[in-house]
Amino acid sequence: MTRRQVIANAVVAVILVAAFAVFCTLVLNSLGRPVDWSKAWAYRESLWRGWTVTLGISLAALLGSIVFGLAFLLGQRSRLPVVRWTCRGFLEFVRDTPLLVHLLFGYFVIFAPLLSRPLAGIGWDDKVLIGIVLLSMFAGAYLGEILRGGVDSIPATQWDAARAVGFSPFQVYRYVIFPQALRRVLPAIAGLFVSLIKDSSLLNVIGVSEYFYNTKNFISRSYAGLEGYLPLTLGYLILTLPVAWLAHWLERRFRDET
């Protein structure tokens, strides 16, 4: 940076900090009552439990979405046209309708009548399980498209070369196509996983007691405001930032490699 740019940078930084401070002061003054963190402290156990449930749902749905994503990828590359069309139709449907609708419709109309009793019979929480499946399917549909784009972007010559050295179809994917395709689609996958963590908050509509649901309860019972929303935001950031950082790090590593 030149000297002028350094000075301009410093000036803009001061202006931005000042503007943010003014904004925060205005907001806090308009609250009309003091911020009382003891309310949040009183609900700490419920909030902590909700956060761990969100963490668990996110991890499970992440793994589930990989399974669904791979299935959708392979389905779209099937040699049987009917499998390809079914996959495409299903993907199009899932991607073009809101997740909220999947959750409400999928839980209350389809899965709950079928599965609630048997699942409760073996002592499982049907809401969590069905929520994870629906979330996995939604993210899996996007992942399937991302992976298909990545695999399609690998030139035909690489398939030739991989077959020429004698790899089996599975080995062609495992050693040649996937390693190259994943490097190309990694940023998109990271974005998808961040969305998935955030979207897990929608599971509150079917009554899963995750972080958002428990925070909402806490807020409505104790008339809290900032004391509820601030930890809520931070709780999700703790989950999403590592994913974003990991993706940036991997992306840089792969870029240096090629």
Partner 1 sequence: MKLDLRDVTKVFGTTRALDELSLQIPEARVLVLIGPSGGGKSTLLRVLGGLEVPDQGSVTLNEHRLNADPESLQAYRRRNGFVFQQFNLFPHLNARRNITLPLEKVHGHSPEAARALADQSLTRFGLLDHATKLPSQLSGGQQQRVGIARAIAFSPEVLFLDEPTSALDPEMTAEVLELIQELAEAGQDIILSTHEMGFARAVADQVAFVASGQIAESNPPQALFNAPVSPVCQRFLSRVMRY
Residues that bind partner 1 (CB under 8 A): 157-158, 160-169, 171, 175-176, 179-180, 183, 257-258
Instruction: Name the residue nearer to partner 1 (CB basis): 116 or 180.
Output: 180
> Least distance (Å) from partner 1 to the CB of residue 153?
13
> Least distance (Å) from partner 1 to the CB of residue 258?
6
> Least distance (Å) from partner 1 to the CB of residue 256?
10
> Least distance (Å) from partner 1 to the CB of residue 170?
10
> Least distance (Å) from partner 1 to the CB of residue 162?
8
- The Cα 59–Cα 51 span in angstroms is 12
Instruction: Name the residue nearer to partner 1 (CB basis): 175 or 249.
Output: 175
Strands (E), the chain: none
Instruction: Name the residue nearer to partner 1 (CB basis): 176 or 202.
Output: 176
Cβ pair 206, 127 in contact under 8 A: yes
Instruction: Name the residue nearer to partner 1 (CB basis): 130 or 186.
Output: 186
Q: How far is CA 53 from CA 57, 135, 179, 235, in A?
A: 6, 14, 32, 12
> Least distance (Å) from partner 1 to the CB of residue 174?
9
CB count in 10 Å sphere of residue 93: 11
Helices vs strands, H then E, count in the chain: 12, 0
Cβ pair 204, 216 in contact under 8 A: yes
- Give Cβ neighbours of residue 78 (< 8 Å, ≥ 6 apart): 84, 87
Cβ pair 198, 61 in contact under 8 A: no
- The Cα 98–Cα 116 span in angstroms is 23
Instruction: Name the residue nearer to partner 1 (CB basis): 46 or 171.
Output: 171
Instruction: Name the residue nearer to partner 1 (CB basis): 132 or 185.
Output: 185
> Least distance (Å) from partner 1 to the CB of residue 40?
49
DSSP state of 231: H
Instruction: Name the residue nearer to partner 1 (CB basis): 153 or 233.
Output: 153
SS3 at position 1: coil
Copy the structure tokens of residue 95: 């991607």
207: alpha, beta or left? (left if phi > 0; alpha if psi -120 to 50): left
